[in-house]
Chains A and B, each alone.
Chain A
Amino acid sequence: MKYDVVIIGGGMTGLISSIYLSSKGLKTAVVSKGDPVCSISSGCIDVAGDFQGIPDDHPYTMAGREKVRSALMYFKEIMKDAGLPYWGEVFENRSIYTPIAKKRETCLVPFSMKNADGAKGKSLHIISFQGMKDFFPGYFKEDTSDFNCSLFDAGTLTTVGIATKFDDPAFREQFILWLKECRIQEEFIGIPAVLGTKNPQKLIDQIELVTGCKVFEIPTLPPSMPGLRLFRKLKSYSSLQGVDFFWGHGISEITEEENLVTSLIIDQPGRPTIIEGRSFILTTGSFVSGGLFAEKESIRETVFNLPVSIPPGKPRLNDSFFDTEQPLGRAGIRVSSHYQPVDSPWKNIFVAGSILENSQIMKYHCGHGLAIVTGLDAAENCEEYLK
């Protein structure tokens, strides 16, 4: 199999890249060892607010403000087209509730969370589920003076279990009937994000109709439905665009000719698959997703063994868990303005997403935003290269 572009890593970055490149008529493949971190995320697109304090060495600065705007607009269009529309303005933040009732700033949110922004200081009714193990309405008690709570017995306890039940029309009907009986007086209703494994827009409309309240979902601990919905939509959208997926296995070998990588061998038991490519985009993420691996003394990039930059002369980790300026958060691959790794022997490799040096996602709250912006930008650079 020969592709114009082979993307390594099936997370936000890789999927956005794949959608763009295949839309340009390039034959594109995505190779992923497993489901990405975005599938367990809150599903919200943190961009970084008003961009105050983004330093010169951050990947956003390299992309430029205009690229950030256009990439996020591109994302919104894709999601609208895919049937999971996102709300919010590119350089404005809105707030959502976290599972411990903290208000948290983010930029783009799925439809199901858009009402959370207006709920501050208003009367709130939390609807949860009996015995649900990843959501506790008690956290909302102190935040809101005018607070009430009702529990529905869904017959199951996990986030995915309850969400799967909501996919069943009979269950939804039963829930709506129960909801009518609750006679909710508050202005807002908050529900943990379990209203179905697919886009819950219709169900939310229905809830709003029978209660007269404004409804929003609250993201839960992983596995979190909004993240799963986002990932599944993007993956199926990409697949519909004609992108090929090689899912579930790592890369055992790469082959090269002169200064080009020519193919990857996927580590499928019994039948290793060779995937040839004219170009490659590395979007394997940082430590949690396995793109980077921390040895005791050093840090390794796991596919091409590219050189990893880390701030010199400092311990890798600071003293406090709550310190979001961990030196390790800066570790990553240093790239040229064309997203090509510096000090690499190969010309046809591009790198994007949280594996980039100085991305500091925790500090700048920019996880998905960074993925979208650099994913698209690197894809455009790769397209340019292939011309």
Chain B
Amino acid sequence: MIQYNCDPPPKVAEGYLERREQEGYMKLRIKMIKTDVIIIGGGATGTGVARDLALRGIDHCLLEKKDFAAGATGACHGLLHSGGRYAVNDPEAARECISENQILRKIGKKCVEFTEGLFVRLPGDTLEYRDDFLESCHRTGISTEIFSASKALGLVPNLNPALEEAVKVPDCSIDPFRLCMLNAESSSLRGGKILTHHKVIEVIKERGNCVGVKAQEQFSGEIIEIRGKVIINASGAWGSIVAKMSGSDVPMNLSKGSLIIANHRLTSMVINRLRPASNGDIIVPNETVSLAGTTSIHVNDPENLSISPEEIGLITSEASQMVPEFDSVRLIRSYTGVRPLLKGDSHSDDDRAISRGFRIIDHKNGMFSIMGGKLTTYRLMAEKMTDRIMEHFGINVPCTTAEKPLEGQNQLSGYPVSNRIEKLDDIICECELVTRKDVEKVIDSVGTKYIGDIQHRTRLGMGPCQGGFCTYRALGMMQEKGKVTSGESIRVLREFLDRRYRGIRPVLWGDQMREEQLVEGIYLGILGLADK
């Protein structure tokens, strides 16, 4: 759940192109791929569409400029909503949520942890809202159960002992990265082309119609051309940038939300505040850690985001009202993402009031944009999008994504996390119990040149030391496998450390500061990376 959406684009390795030229690579003509549907964006929506198209037998190619879940998908709470959060204000969204919640629990057992959730009512939170909440949940089909304070404390001992009561809902914790990976797996198995680290640099148009795109491989700089009949713009916060390439416009409101990660699983259930949606009112357990957030701040640029100390202060103080330990626990990282909200759905100034509903826009030039929505309803969005494409092609094959389990789950350890302890040998990442075999498998299968690819697929470097020890090891292994040269791996290491520091710096105090000085000692001292 570590976020990379604030990264600068990876630079082309120095001398790489020259070397390739000497090796004769550049004499080849630009690589060309022909397909029916081009999907831009490797988040939940994009990979969801890829899976749906694959199951309906439509040839497609997905392009993602980084790795899967690099935008809002990976920068969220990792919460599979029960719908409770929306029940009062947006019953339609709530209905969609509970229906998708039930589907994903069924088809994605190894990326959805059925933690259940509590809406806790603290002193000062009104009974009116509680009654409204219960009634709305009932109306929208979300099951609820009222717990006394002592019963709630029995389930989650870290809760604020002053709570009045709690309402149980079927909230779950979901691993967005694995979700995308599994969706992509269904596509790959049926011949879909999934190209991560390929950035779309141009939309090719002929006689006013989109007929393809040019994409650049981000490590080598190599450009490929993909020709297709339809382009689906599923690039989330980058939606209007991509739409502009085709000469269209998507009016969007970008709303930044920041989160913090604590180094413990402080709660085994999702915790919400039983009051109208506000900042920092959700805590989600995720494997060995807990996430808390979020904020809502309007931004103009989906990249170059920063997190202010005020945001961190706000989230910690709100989260610690529900789970007091959040105030003193060791925070291992902060991250931020951008909600791609559609403009014009609300006149309110608060971005949170804009509907999280989604919309499909036909630009009438061969490009469709699918915008808005939320992680919980990604499958439904993909279904509607694919229905539209089928209609466009005049083919009638029904959607089956809600019935077929996600493929590739047999590779995952699933829940509880302790499953991973069964195969302990040759541990490369001690925090998250990742073995050498796990890492080698990713390097072999993905052919990665990026440390992030390994992190996302194995959870390497996501624990308390945040990759302080294991990143050096993983890069060494990438060298052994011939994926990177030693010069490249040092460059990747430096980029990683820089990114890591940007995530950690806003929460650097207490024990995390001790850890940080150790990491500084290792990389700047023992390895000598500070020396130019």
Contact = CB atoms under 8 A, between A and B. Distances in A.
Q: How many A residues touch the partner, as a band?
A: 35 or more
Which among B476, B480, B494, B529 has the highest number of chain A CB atoms within 10 Å?
B476
B473 interface: yes
Main secondary structure of the interface of A (DSSP, over half): loop
B308 to A, nearest CB: 12
A288 B472 contact: no
B524 A324 contact: yes
B426 A102 contact: no
Interface stretch (A168-176, A206-214, A292-300): A292-300
Contacts of A365: 525
Interface string A280-311: 00000011101001111000000000000000
A366 to B, nearest CB: 11
Contact of B514 (A288, A321, A362): A288
Interface string A317-354: 10111101000000000000000000000000000000
Contacts of B524: 322, 324, 362
Contacts of A286: 517
Contact of B473 (A133, A295, A367): A133
Contacts of B490: 100, 139
Interface stretch (B19-27, B30-38, B415-423, B505-513): B505-513
B424 interface: no
A322 B498 contact: yes
B477 to A, nearest CB: 7
Interface string A103-147: 110000000000000000000000000010111101111110000
A102 B529 contact: yes
Interface in A149-205: 157
A42 interface: yes
Given A133-B436, A136-B480, A142-B487, A324 B514 contact: no
B394 interface: no
Interface stretch (A12-20, A86-94, A218-226): A218-226
Contacts of A319: 505
A42 B509 contact: no
A37 interface: yes
Given A139-B486, A295-B510, A321-B497, A367 B525 contact: yes
A321 B485 CA distance: 23
Contacts of B517: 286-288
Interface string B504-532: 01001110011011101111111111110
A362 B485 contact: no
Which among A100, A221, A367 has the highest number of chain B CB atoms within 10 Å?
A100
A219 B494 CA distance: 20
A138 B510 contact: no
Given A99-B472, A142-B487, A362-B525, A296 B509 contact: yes
Contact of B522 (A136, A138, A222, A367): A222
B485 A142 contact: yes
Contacts of B523: 321
A322 B500 CA distance: 12
B147 interface: no
A272 B428 CA distance: 40
B140 interface: no
B526 A287 contact: no
Contacts of A133: 426, 428, 436, 473
Interface in A362-384: 362, 365, 367
Contacts of B288: none
Given A42-B526, A100-B493, A136-B479, 11 more contacts: A98-B528, A104-B531, A136-B475, A221-B469, A221-B527, A222-B522, A287-B516, A293-B510, A295-B509, A321-B501, A321-B520
Interface of B: 426, 428, 436, 469, 472-473, 475-477, 479-480, 485-487, 489-490, 493-494, 497-498, 500-501, 505, 508-510, 513-514, 516-518, 520-531
25 contacts: A98-B528, A100-B490, A102-B528, A102-B529, A131-B426, A134-B472, A136-B477, A138-B476, A138-B486, A139-B476, A139-B490, A142-B485, A143-B486, A221-B469, A222-B526, A287-B513, A295-B510, A296-B509, A317-B505, A317-B508, A321-B498, A321-B500, A321-B501, A321-B520, A365-B525
